[in-house]
């Protein structure tokens, strides 16, 4: 899984002008499922996302998790994270998982994170508009193949 985590003060998702979900302080997480991902990747991703310590403590050091600050997570499916831009100018998405697998893994990831942290979702495969007030900015990229 390829994951981008942004620390946010707020984030919202709309589809066709309708508000689907929103959060206050927390993490905006974009997730791309690759064809080679396994159930183990879901577990690794869930643990890392819920536990990543990228919020500041009273001393100004990044040592607090989203749970420590009472925040939530907005999880957005994003197959374009699987893009291969090494040839030409048009990205290829051959490493992205088929839609059925990607949706299943996306929902399983949300369920695992939800065991410890409030999670809001976008619409899988939807034409979403995501708004965020990035806090920092702090943006982290994870690849479960490297965890």
pTM: 0.97
Q: Is residue 144 part of a domain?
A: no
- Residue 49 within any structural domain of the chain: yes
Do the domain assignments include residue 100?
Answer: yes
Give residue-wise pLDDT tens across range 30-87: 999 999 999 999 999 999 999 999 999 999 999 999 999 999 999 999 999 999 999 9
pLDDT given at position 2: 98
Q: Identify whether 140 is part of a domain.
A: no
Asked if the structure places residue 58 within a domain, the reply is: yes
Q: Which two tokens stand for residue 28?
A: 């905006």
Contact status, residue 30 vs residue 3, Cβ threshold 8 Å: yes
**Domain of 104: which CATH number?**
3.50.80.10
Q: What is the per-residue pLDDT for 38? A: 98
pLDDT tens by residue, 9-36: 999 999 999 999 999 999 999 999 999 9
Stretch 94-105: mean pLDDT: 98
pLDDT of residue 71: 98
Q: With respect to residue 50, please indicate whether it lies within any of the assigned structural domains.
A: yes
- Helix count (H) and strand count (E) of the chain? 2, 8
**3-class SS of residue 79:** helix
In a domain, 76, yes or no: yes
Helices within the chain (DSSP H only): 39-51, 99-114
Q: Round to whole Å and give the CA distance between 55 and 62.
A: 5
**Is the residue at 56 inside a domain?**
yes
Range of the domain at 105: 2-133
Number of independent structural domains in the chain = 1
Q: How many C-beta neighbours within 10 Å does residue 9 have? A: 14
């Amino acid at each position: 899984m390829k994951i981008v985590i942004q620390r946010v003060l707020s984030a919202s998702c709309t589809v066709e002008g309708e508000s689907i979900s929103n959060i206050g302080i927390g993490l905006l997480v974009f997730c791309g499922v690759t064809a080679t991902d396994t159930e183990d990747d879901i577990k690794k991703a869930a643990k890392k996302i819920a536990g990543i310590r990228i919020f500041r403590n009273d001393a100004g050091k990044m040592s607090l998790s989203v749970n420590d600050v009472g925040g939530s997570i907005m999880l957005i499916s994003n197959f374009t994270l699987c893009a291969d831009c090494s040839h030409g100018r048009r990205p290829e998405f051959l490493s992205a998982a088929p839609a059925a697998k990607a949706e299943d893994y996306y929902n399983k990831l949300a369920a695992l994170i939800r065991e410890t942290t409030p999670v809001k979702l976008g619409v899988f495969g939807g034409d979403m508009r995501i708004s965020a007030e990035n806090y920092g900015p702090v943006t982290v990229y994870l690849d479960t193949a490297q965890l």
